Structure 1
Amino acid sequence: MNQDEPQPVFQSFDPCAELLVSERNLPHWFQPGAAIFVTFRTADSMPAEVVQRWQRELEDWLRIRDLPIGLAQSTVSRHLMTHDRMMEQLAPNQRSEFQKRSDQLFHRSLDACHGACVLRDPEIAKIVGETLLFHRGTKYELDRLVVMPNHVHAIVQFDPESNLSVVSQSWMRYSARQINQALGTSGPFWQPEPFDHIIRSPEQFRYLQQYIFDNPAKANLRPGEFLYWERTNSNPPE
Structure 2
Amino acid sequence: MQPKGWHSRGYLPHFDSTETVQFVTFRLADSLPAHIAKALQDRDHVLPRLERELDAGLGACWLKRPDIASMVEDALIHFDGARYRLLGWCIMPNHVHVVIEIVDEHSLTGIVGSWKSFTAKRANSQIGRSGPFWHPDYFDRFMRDEGHLARTVVYAEHNPVKAGLVAEAFNWRWSSARFRKT
The alignment's TM-score, normalised by the length of structure 1, stands at 0.67
Residues matched between the structures, number: 174
Residues 1:51 and 1:24: Cα distance change in structure 2 (over 3 Å) = closer
Identity of aligned residues (%): 34
Which of 20, 34, 37 aligns to 1:34? It is: 20
Provide, for residues 129-154 of structure 1, a one-character-per-residue CA deviation record: whole Å limited to 9, x for no partner.
Answer: 00111111111110011000000001
**Structure 2 CA distance for aligned equivalents of residues 158 and 231 of structure 1:** 23
Which of 131, 136, 139 aligns to 2:80? It is: 136
Contact (CA 8 Å) 2:7, 2:14: kept in 1 or not?
yes
Contact (CA 8 Å) 2:16, 2:109: kept in 1 or not?
no
Provide, for residues 17-60 of structure 1, a one-character-per-residue CA deviation record: whole Å limited to 9, x for no partner.
Answer: x98112111211122101000000000001134346xx3xxxxx
Unaligned runs of 5+ in 2: none
SS at match of 2:158: helix
2:42 alignment counterpart:
74
SS at match of 1:227: coil
**2:95 counterpart of 1:151:** yes
**2:65 counterpart of 1:121:** yes
Q: Which amino acid counterpart does residue 188 of structure 1 have in structure 2? A: P
2:116 alignment counterpart:
172
Contact (CA 8 Å) 2:124, 2:133: kept in 1 or not?
yes
Contact (CA 8 Å) 2:26, 2:96: kept in 1 or not?
yes
**Structure 2 CA distance for aligned equivalents of residues 180 and 73 of structure 1:** 27
Unaligned runs of 5+ in 1: 1-17, 56-71, 76-97, 234-238
RMSD: 2.4
